[in-house]
Each structure stands twice: as C-alpha cells, then as structure tokens.
Chain A
Amino acid sequence: MITQIVKRDGRTVPFELDKITEAIYKAAKALGGSDRRMAEDLAKQVVAYLEEKNLQTPTVEQIQDAVERTLIENGHARTAKEFILYRSGRTRVREMNTRLMKIYEDLTFRDAKDNDIKRENANIDGDTAMGTMLKYGSEGAKQFDEMFILKPVHSKAHADGDIHIHDLDFYTLTTTCCQIDLTKLFTDGFSTGHGFLREPNSIQSYSALACIAIQSNQNDQHGGQSVPSFDYDMAKGVAKSYRTLYRNNMIKALEFEGIEDADSLIRSTLEKVEAETGLWPALNADNGFHAKEAELLIPVIGEEAYKKAYDFSRKFTDKEIDRHTYQAMEALVHNLNTMHSRAGAQIPFSSLNYGTDTSPEGRMVTRNLLLATEAGLGNGETAIFPIHIFKVKEGVNYNPEDPNYDLFKLACKVSAERLFPNFSFLDAPYNLQYYKPGHPETEAAYMGCRTRVVANNFDPSRSVVTGRGNLSFTSINLPRLAIKSNHNVDFFFEQLEREVELVIDQLNERFKLQAGKKVRNYPFLMGQGIWIDSDKLSPDDTVGEVLKHGTLTVGFIGLAECLTALVGKHHGESAASQNLGLDIVGCMRKRLDEESRRTGLNYTLIATPAEGLSGRFVRLDKKKYGVIEGVTDKDYYTNSFHIPVRFPISAYEKIRLEAPYHALTNAGHISYIELDGDPVKNLDAFESVVRYMKECGIGYGSINHPVDRDPVCGYTGIIDDVCPRCGRREGEAVSVEKLKKLGVYKHLNASTLGCCGNADEEADRIPNTL
C-alpha cells in the first residue's frame, strides 16, 4: 500500500490518488474527453502497477512513467501523447527556472571577461551596475517570452536553434528601429519629457537637438537610430546661424563707423527684406538679398559706408560660420560617444547618412562633420559613434565634375584614417528606382549595422525612408537545414520553404502584439510624431495601422557553411556554389515578395548582422551533429552571405561575388573588405575599392583596416608589438623624458594619459605596401 511519495526536491509527502486522476483527466480533456470515471480507473491501475513493481515510496518521475505506460497499454495513445507533452512542458518550466537562476548567479558574481552573456553586445558594459541590471531584465524577459508568450512551435524552433528570434527580450514591448526626419521634428519645436524645446535657431542648437532626438528615441526602441539625410536637416541650422552672424557683424561694422542706432537699423532692414522677399543673408551671396539690402541701406548711410560694412561682414561671417559649424559637428560627435540611454548602460546606436546635399550650407555640414571625425575625440581617439554613411551618387559626388566630388574624396580620406564613413550607393538599381532628385526622403538610407527600409507595399505612394523602420526580424539557421538535407538539394529547398513559412507566422504573431500597443507606450517615437502618421493619433490610440508602414523581416546566417554542407564548396570556391547560393537567397526573397503582395504589408529579407547569434547556432549544431569540416569546425558561422573571413580572396573578387546578394536582401546588407597596412598612404587604392563597389552594384560597403592607438604617447595608426612612436610594448612604462623629447608629453596624470598626435612624426611613417 503506497502512502507516501518522494517529490523532486527530495521531500517525502503523503500520496494522493486524486492527483494522478486529475493529471490523466486533464490530458484526456485536452482532446475533448470528459469521462472522469475512466480517469479514476486508470489511476487505480497506475497504483497497482507501482505496487506490483514493489515501489512502496515512488518518486514523481516513477509515477509519471507508470501513467504513460498504463495509458498506452489501455489503448489511450493520444491521451498518453498529451500527457507526455504536458510532462515535458512542466520539465522545461522547471529547468528554465533553474537555468534562469543560474544565469542570474553568473551575472551577479562573474566578471564580463569570464561571462559570455555579459559580452553578448559589445557596446554594453556588462560590468557596470546598470549594465548588469539590464541583463537581469533581458534574460528574465527572454525566458518569460519563451514559456508564456511564444506559440510552442515557435518557442521550440527558437530554443532548438532552427531559427533565432532577435531581441526576444523586447518581444512584447516595442519595435526595432526608425529613420528620423529631423527637419520635420524641429519644425515648430518638440518635447522630450518635461517642458518644450522651441524650434532651434543656430547650427549649434540644431546639432545639440539632433543628439537629444537620437537619445530620446533610443529609449523607445530596441534597435538603432538613423538620420537618413543629416546634411539636408542641418543645412537650415547653418543658414539660420549665417543670418544671425551676418546681422551682428553688420551692426558692429556700422557702430564702428559711428552710425547711430545701427542695431535697430540693421534689424529692421533684415526683417523688411525677409518680409518682402523671403530672402536671408546667405552663404550664397548671389541669392538676391544683398541687392535688396543695398537698396534700403544706401539711402540712409551712403554707398561708401554700406560697401565697407558689407565687405567686413561678408568676410568675417564666412569665416565664423565655418568655425561655428565645425564646433557644432565636433560637439555632436563628442555627445554621441558619451551620452547614455537605457538607464546609463549603453550609448545610443546612432547612424548619420549624408553627402548628397549640394547647397553651400549642406556642403559645409558634410565637410565639417568629416573633419571633426578625422580629428577624433579629446585625446585624438577614434570615435565609435555615430556610424557615418556617405551616400555616393553619380552626378552629385561620384565623378570629378560633380558638385560634391571634393566631399567624396574627403570621405575616402577620413574613412582610411578612422574607419568611418561607410559608403552607400544610390545608383544600385534597387536603390535608384526610388530616387527622386531634390527629394532626400527618397534616397535609400542605411541604419546602424545595415538595415534598409525604402519600398512601401502598404502605401506605395509613400516609398520614403523617413519615419519608417523595421518592426522585428527573425533569422534562419541555413547550415542546419543543409546538414539535415544530407546533400539533397531538392529536400533542402523544401525545408527552407517550410522554415520561411514558420518565420512568417512568428513575425505575424509578434506584429499582433506590437499592433496592440498605444501611442503613450512610445512617448517620443509616436508621441512626438517621429514614426510616419503617428502625429495623426491620440495618446490612447493603438499603433497597429501606422506600424504597417514598417517591415517584417526574415534573416539568415551562414550561407557559406550551408553551401559547404550541401555541395562541398562555398561560393568563394566554386561558381556552381555561387549560383546555388543566389538560388537559396532568391528563394527566400521570392516567398517574402509573394507574402507582401498577398497581405499588403512589407515582408523583407535581411542579411542578418548576427552578433550574439554568430556563436549560438554553431554551438547547438556542433552538439547535435558533431564537428563537420568547413561547417561546424569553427566557433562562429559566417555572417549572412559573406565569403568566409579566413578564405583568401582579392578585394575585387569578394566585391564581385557578394554584390548580387545586395540586390536580393532588400531589408539590408553590407560587404566588408579587409585592407592590409595603412590605407592613408594609398588613398587611390582605397578609392578604387569604393568605386569598384559602386560599379558592381553593392548597396552598402565598408573597408576595415587596423586602427590602433597608444594612449600614452597618443600615436594612432598600426601598432604591432611595439609602439612606433614611443617604443614601448603593451603595458610597459616609458620615461617622461622620452615623451618630452618626442614633444608629446603634456601632463603626468594617469587618468588623462595621452597627448595629441604629432603631425611631423605621423608624416614620417613608412608606407605599408597594399
């Protein structure tokens, strides 16, 4: 006679027959059964079986085994299956609780250097209080979503590593990213919380408010913040500053000449001209303003005085405006590298697109932003934010006769020194189709690491970049599908199509949750009208309709390993593999285009960035399938459609092979080239790589090269083992005397170690061959 059982935690508790009956009844009920009497009979059989086995004090596990066995023996196979599902679900909940507590323990007691989770995102400092708190929240939310929010089939696919649902911790909370229209935001001012920010009136205020907008929006979304036409947006700030500076210089000049009431005379004259003609004093002196100004002023102060004051004001204003713009851009770069979001744990992910505004003001913004980036931060450090994207366009900045060609050259130079800007190509056919000259909102822009949103199937008349972004994305583990297909390509495609269906279903489920949110859940993104049409909504309206302008996106990782598993060679090794690769990526894109047409929403395909994911899939696959050469034999899967990073290939061949994938991945893509040595010494070669990208139809590209810095002497360039300037090795001390001799010693303060670069010395560096 059983009177007691042993629980999982080891405690012994009284045996209750009802509990077995209840479990069986519940399983039967899930299948539509309602025979409680039968459940009781079966429970009694379970007890009889246990006693027959002489288990006088059975464990919970033993009882559950007996239930399964009894159900099957009595022909209740489907009920047994239901019971097993219930049982494994309970087991998972239990394991997850334990796993979560283990994760919390590691977050609490281990440093980031020993804890991979704390380094999941390289831009979060996992060792800080707020960084750790962010991880507690994130890990807890992920497990909650896996257990209670996701459809079991999606949760299982994610947990098993067939797919990866990105930003799972934010699943029920928000969307990925948005391209911010600063011009629209600044017009008539805005609010970020308490109080109201008036429309800015100088380039300094424009750049300061740009940072605030990026920071505010970062707190409403889990992805990055992008400004698609930064030069156009800031140009108005330059124009306003010019107006003020010119006015002040005119007043100064006339006062110096002894003209009475110069202040009110100039102010009233400028106001009058503006009221009658809408004209301001501008960088472009031929805009007609000065003719009108002269007409009004000469009768009052005489031609000579006017001419003198005019020459003085033009000369100084032209100089000052450049200085003001540089300082504004310098402040912006510094701010974006130091300001924090998300409870202080993270710098906002900011991206600025620019390079196509050919107005004198827009050009001044672009040039000074590049120069401020070239100069670096306070001690000459390379800035890590914002991500700069220089938009390359024929007729605008690509050819020597183009108005902004000088800026393209400068962009190449700065990128060769500081890794930014990256380059986007508006002439790639899939970008060019949206381009309307004079409408910067139709110029394809890229966000953060690579996201792209232009086409709008929900409302094709608004195929614009501004106010729109990605809603969520989920990636497919391509290498696993290939391993499972066992070299059978047809079977691979069947599975791939099924997987895409599964992900579309999951994206739709997530969209339902996102659509139910209200404007007040996003005080800045929706409350301040950043997102397209959100300005037409009230705080308690749901955001579902306006979110339909966003994209629902499928991503992928490891095309190279997938091809190797399928046919033995990746796309860098064989032309046949390249064709198969294009078929695979094309197959996904085709299905998503169909879904867009069918539903009127925007389903798109992204070449997944995959930071945390790069190790996760391969870890799971190694466990499941063992080490497969060229597939699971590394600690990471190759990014999206990239040629493997360790495969030797020329820059040009890599660009040529990767370019066609850019056309297929309409939600975003990037190609990287790794250059050896110091590209500053060979800017022509650097530019030729950028030009080759454009000619091959790359949408977005970037060139990597080593940028090292010795904080002690301030040397920036390539450092192998020994600093070429001060001669110290990593961690070694160097004498103050030596630094003084080099002319780079400034002050002995451990916390501010570092000095400005030495231009003479850097000019002496030996060029490394490319």
Chain B
Amino acid sequence: MKNENIEMVGQGVGFERIRRITGYLVGTLDRFNDAKRAEVNDRVKHGLDSGMERL
C-alpha cells in the first residue's frame, strides 16, 4: 500500500469469468478439468459477416 492514509479494497480479489462448459455455466475456470480448460482456451469466435444470408 503506497499511502497508509488511503483506504484500499480488493487486494487479491480476482475477476469472475463465467463460461459455458458442456451446457452448464461455471463461475470460475479453476473448477474446469484439464481437458476442458484446454478446449476453452482454444475456442475461436464465429464472425457474423461471411457473406452468408442474414435473416
């Protein structure tokens, strides 16, 4: 802490990252098994502008 007079919060608190795994939402990547963690890391986004017909 830089200055003892400044009140700080949040030290050590991480961000929550909600992801879907086999259909279920999970609030933290920590609970994913090794294989699913690898799969989540590999996921690429699907673009919407591929010249395909839009409805």
Interface set of A (CB-CB < 8 Å, partner B): 112-113, 116, 119-120, 122-123, 125, 349, 381-385, 387, 419-420, 448-450, 609-612, 614-616, 618, 634-636, 639, 644-654, 656, 670, 672-676, 685, 688-689, 691-692, 695, 702, 704, 706-712, 719, 723, 728, 730-737, 739, 748, 750, 753, 770
Out of B8, B32, B49, which one reaches A119, CB within 8 Å?
B32
Compute how far the CA of A689 lies from the CA of B55 in the bound complex, rounded to whole angstroms: 8
CA distance A649 to B48 in the complex (A): 9
26 pairs across A/B with beta carbons < 8 Å? A116-B34, A122-B26, A382-B18, A611-B21, A615-B34, A635-B35, A644-B42, A652-B48, A672-B20, A674-B43, A676-B45, A688-B48, A688-B54, A688-B55, A692-B54, A708-B17, A710-B16, A712-B10, A712-B13, A730-B15, A735-B7, A735-B8, A736-B6, A737-B7, A750-B9, A753-B9
The answer on a CB contact under 8 Å between A736 and B23 is no
On chain B, the number of residues with a Cβ less than 8 Å from chain A's Cβ atoms is 45
Q: Closest B-chain residue to A637, C-beta based?
A: B35
Of residues 15 through 45 on chain B, the ones whose CB sits less than 8 Å from some CB of chain A are: 15-27, 30-36, 38-39, 42-45
Q: Is the CB of B24 within 8 A of A122?
A: yes
Most buried by A among B22, B43, B54, B55: B22
Listed in ascending order, the chain B residues whose CB lies under 8 Å from chain A are 1, 6-27, 30-36, 38-39, 42-50, 52-55
Task: Check B25 against A419 for contact (C-beta < 8 Å).
Answer: yes
Rounded to whole angstroms, the CA-CA distance of A702 and B25 in the bound complex is 12
Chain B nearest CB, measured from A155 CB (Å): 23
Across the interface, do B24 and A349 meet the contact criterion of CB distance under 8 Å? yes
Judge whether A753 and B10 touch: CB under 8 Å: yes
What's the minimum C-beta distance from A560 to chain B, rounded to whole angstroms? 12
Q: Tell me how far the C-beta of A714 lies from the nearest C-beta in chain B, rounded to whole angstroms.
A: 11
> Which residues of chain B are within 8 angstroms of A381 by Cβ–Cβ distance?
16, 27
A636 contacts B36, C-beta separation under 8 Å: yes
Pick the residue among B6, B22, B44 that contacts A737 (CB under 8 A).
B6
Which 7 residue pairs across A and B have the least CB separation, nearest first? A615-B35, A449-B23, A650-B50, A652-B52, A712-B10, A733-B8, A635-B38
CA distance A381 to B38 in the complex (A): 25
Q: B32: shortest Cβ distance to chain A, in Å?
A: 6
A113-B30, A734-B10, A737-B6 known; A636 and B35 CB under 8 Å? yes
User: Taking A634-B42, A652-B52, A675-B46 as contacts, is the C-beta distance between A123 and B18 under 8 angstroms?
Assistant: no
Is the Cβ of A614 less than 8 Å from the Cβ of B39? yes
Q: Is the CB of A636 within 8 A of B39?
A: yes
Task: Give A723 to B46 CA distance when docked, in angstroms.
Answer: 25
Nearest-CB residue, chain A, relative to B21: A122
Most chain A CB neighbours (cut-off 10 Å) among B11, B14, B25: B25
When chains A and B are docked, how far (Å) is the Cα of A614 from the Cα of B35? 6
Quick one: which of B1, B8, B36, B54 contacts A122, CB cutoff 8 A?
B36
Closest A residue to B19 by beta carbon equals A704
A639 touches B34 (CB 8 A): no
Residue of B nearest to A723 (CB): B15
The residues of B that contact A615 with a CB separation of less than 8 Å are 33-36, 38
Whether A449 touches B24, Cβ cut-off 8 Å, given contacts A645-B43, A646-B43, A734-B8, is yes
Given contact pairs A387-B23, A685-B48, A618 touches B35 in the complex (Cβ within 8 A): yes
Which of B23, B42, B44, B49 has the most chain A CB atoms inside 10 A of its CB?
B23
Do the beta carbons of B52 and A122 come within 8 Å of each other? no
**How far apart are A670's CB and chain B's nearest CB, in angstroms?**
6
Kindly identify which residue among A116, A656, A710 contacts B15, using a CB–CB cutoff of 8 Å: A710
Partner of B55 from A618, A675, A692 at Cβ < 8 Å: A692
Residue pair A122, B48 in contact (C-beta under 8 Å): no
Q: Which of B6, B8, B49, B53 has the most CB of A within 10 A?
A: B8
A615-B34, A733-B10 known; 5 other A-B pairs, CB under 8 Å? A120-B33, A636-B36, A645-B43, A676-B45, A731-B11
Chain B residues with CB under 8 A of A645: 39, 42-44
